[in-house]
Chains A and B, each alone.
Chain A
Amino acid sequence: MGKTLSQKIWSDHLVRSGSGLPDLLYIDLHLIHEVTSPQAFDGLRMNGRRVRRPDLTVATEDHNVPTENIDQPIADEISLKQIETLRNNTAEFGITNYPMGDPHQGIVHVIGPELGLTQPGMTVVCGDSHTSTHGAFGALAFGIGTSEVEHVLATQTLPQPVQETMSITINGELPEGSTAKDVVLAILNEVGTGGGIGAIAEFRGSVVESLSMEGRMTLCNMSIEFGAKAGLIAPDEVTFEYLKGLENCPEGENWDEAVAYWKTLFTDQDATFDREVVLDGAAISPQVTWGTNPGQVIPVSGYVPNPQDYADPAEREAAERALDYMGLQAGSEMRSISVDTVFIGSCTNSRIEDLRSAAAVAEGRSVASGVRTLVVPGSRVVKEQAEAEGLDKIFIESGFDWREPGCSMCLAMNPDKLTVGERCASTSNRNFEGRQGRGGRTHLVSPRVAAATAIAGHFATPEDLS
């Protein structure tokens, strides 16, 4: 019987297996950042261990860095200490770090791909759940905890139990105006927050093939939101085209050899999946979350659900609690709900294509009065590219706030936060209670819906704007 894409990558990285222990996988790329690494380095020091492959380890500062006034010292002393700890640790162990202000700095899942560090067939890990993003390149990429960060630093391997396989096929063609973000929100609506637990998901079908690398990254990014160990897409010409000429990608004969190998990375025709999900792309309209987990999704054209319509008592109770927290009435039209803030950014939607699509909506229009906005590019490279294209001017002229790169309001670790009751249309990945600031109310949307919502002052698609 044939193998799936993830099974091929898995077996190509087996250091050892059997005798009652989980498989030991070799890790090709270990990305680290300031938040989940300090205790791992402490562990190394405590046990007198070294970093086995500093050359396969790359660091950046993203989670807690401010997105304005970055020429000044970080005001928050605890954040400053965490950044300094990363700088000291990477210096001590000989690891490359891209610090705040550096031309290569940015959100770890934005810079890995743009530097060509992420390549097809690799195993990629990082102490961050959205590491699944790198699966867009046909890499097996997943988030790990701090104990595992320490394990990879010390051994460049990870023990892993074998996972189930899951295929998520999106057939047909997306309607005009629907994006990769809408696709992944539609998947979440279908399978829920637990639908992928215990499995590695492969995204397939004509809709996936037609996506750009940016779109594929958005799709894979949110695999963890339905609980999948990883999400990945078979590499193709779109992938190779994106990678060719990038700083850390192979060149010359090495490139040819690499591409020949990458072309073997697909699911064999006679391979089978443990779980299969099929969606019709044509039925996916722009989506928005209404609740407090990313599985609580409706179309932007829809109405807030009524908890009484849920047969399952647990779901009903969760819906009631979500509506209460979100300050919403069952049956309200989403388009009638006004927002206080719009956040365009995060490892889900802060790449150049995301900024272009938001800017296209913003151009020649103005942000509704009283709406606070933040546009936070995923990296300095993205920021400079956007500025070269004049996108910054479009945003600024429309009344959007143009910021420095980082994770920003996605997780409220830096000064960019929601206040109690503040409602936000956000291109990030999690609408959990308090995720963007204590008491804040998050609705997940695509960049173009976020931009249209900023202009309308309430949830809207660009097509709704006059």
Chain B
Amino acid sequence: MKPVSIIEGTAVPLDRSDVDTDQIIPSDWLKRVERTGFEKGLFSEWRDDKDFVLNNDVYLGANILLAGPNFGTGSSREHAVWAIQQAGFDAVISPRFGPIFKNNSTKNGLVPVEIETTIAEELMRQVQIDPNLYFVIDIAKRTLEIAQIGLVVDFPLESSIQDRFLKGLDDIGITLEHTEAIETFEKQRNSWLQRQ
């Protein structure tokens, strides 16, 4: 994972609640064994609708996805995170995330920004009025700032995840430093669980 400290740019307002991972990337795309090439699958069932917000040219080049509550619920498919990133997004803002999606995001360097529902609704309205609102997400400070409207809000990010984002650390590498503790644990597992 690459280090990430500041994400800045414009946002696409995806004004829907309960956008599940089946919507983000339909199951047909899950047959692929590769890790790349998922951008065309992103919201593919909605992309045919010319009024779908991602087809609106005024949001072209946006790198932040602003969504309604319960974003990324459902299936554990990490393909959802890959599709969002490969389509050019670096962060997703929502009042609440599906837990597995959120976890998957943090493993890939896609920043989940959780903000209060009322602020999210207001932001949604503002971005619909002004697509050029410039978002600055600061990982070190855990803040989202939009200078044009004088908004600064904190968002939660567990310190170990924040650290991994900032340093671009590999989770497996961190755990392998504790191999001795794993070996010790394995020796004391209940006897009936030993299989080998």
Give residues in A with beta carbon < 8 Å to B: 15-16, 20-22, 24, 26, 28, 35-36, 38-39, 42, 47, 49, 52, 55-56, 63-64, 76, 78-79, 81-82, 85, 119, 122, 127-129, 143-148, 150-151, 154-157, 159, 161, 193-194, 197-198, 224-225, 227, 229, 250, 254-255, 257-258, 261, 292-293, 314-315, 317-318, 321, 411-413, 430, 432-435, 438
Contacts and interface: CB of A to CB of B under 8 A. Distances in A.
A227 B20 CA distance: 11
A435 to B, nearest CB: 5
Contacts of A225: 74
A143 to B, nearest CB: 4
B143 interface: no
18 contacts: A55-B195, A64-B30, A81-B31, A129-B74, A143-B100, A144-B100, A146-B104, A155-B179, A197-B99, A198-B99, A227-B70, A227-B99, A258-B192, A293-B20, A314-B68, A314-B121, A432-B20, A432-B23
Given A122-B193, A197-B96, A438 B26 contact: yes
Contacts of A63: 30
B50 interface: no
A432 B31 CA distance: 19
Best-surrounded residue of B31, B96, B186, B189 (most CB of chain A within 10 A): B31
B73 interface: yes
Given A82-B33, A143-B100, A157-B175, A430 B20 contact: yes
Contacts of A76: 31
A24 B181 contact: yes
B191 A257 contact: yes
A193 B81 CA distance: 20
Chain A to chain B: the 5 pairs with minimum beta-carbon distance, closest first: A147-B107, A145-B104, A250-B192, A38-B33, A145-B78
Nearest to B33: A38
A426 to B, nearest CB: 14
B77 A36 contact: yes
B17 A318 contact: yes
Contacts of B5: none
A194 B17 CA distance: 11
Nearest to B22: A432
Given A36-B76, A146-B78, A147-B78, 16 more contacts: A24-B182, A47-B172, A129-B76, A129-B100, A144-B76, A145-B107, A151-B171, A151-B172, A197-B98, A227-B98, A293-B20, A411-B22, A411-B27, A413-B27, A413-B31, A432-B74
A305 B196 CA distance: 55
Contacts, number: 183
Nearest to B184: A15
Interface in B18-53: 18, 20, 22-23, 26-28, 30-35, 45
A412 B75 CA distance: 13
Nearest to B191: A254
A433 to B, nearest CB: 6
A140 B53 CA distance: 40
- Chain B interface size, as a band, is 35 or more
B57 interface: no
Contact of B45 (A22, A148, A438): A438
A229 B33 contact: no
Interface of B: 16-18, 20, 22-23, 26-28, 30-35, 45, 68-70, 73-78, 81, 96-100, 103-104, 107-108, 121, 158-160, 163, 171-172, 174-176, 178-179, 181-182, 185-186, 189-193, 195-196
A128 to B, nearest CB: 6
A360 B74 CA distance: 32
Nearest to A150: B172
Given A76-B31, A148-B107, A411-B27, A15 B190 contact: no
Contact of B174 (A21, A36, A82, A197): A21
A261 B190 contact: yes
Best-surrounded residue of B45, B81, B182, B191 (most CB of chain A within 10 A): B182
Given A15-B178, A314-B68, A143 B76 contact: yes
A194 B18 CA distance: 9
A335 B81 CA distance: 40
A39 B182 contact: no
A258 B99 contact: no
Contacts of B77: 35-36, 145
A155 B182 contact: yes
A159 B18 contact: no
Contacts of A16: 178, 181
A51 B149 CA distance: 51
A243 to B, nearest CB: 11
B76 A85 contact: no
Contacts of A430: 20, 22, 74-75
Contacts of A20: 159-160, 163
A99 B17 CA distance: 39
B23 A193 contact: no
A290 B34 CA distance: 36
Contacts of B193: 28, 119, 122
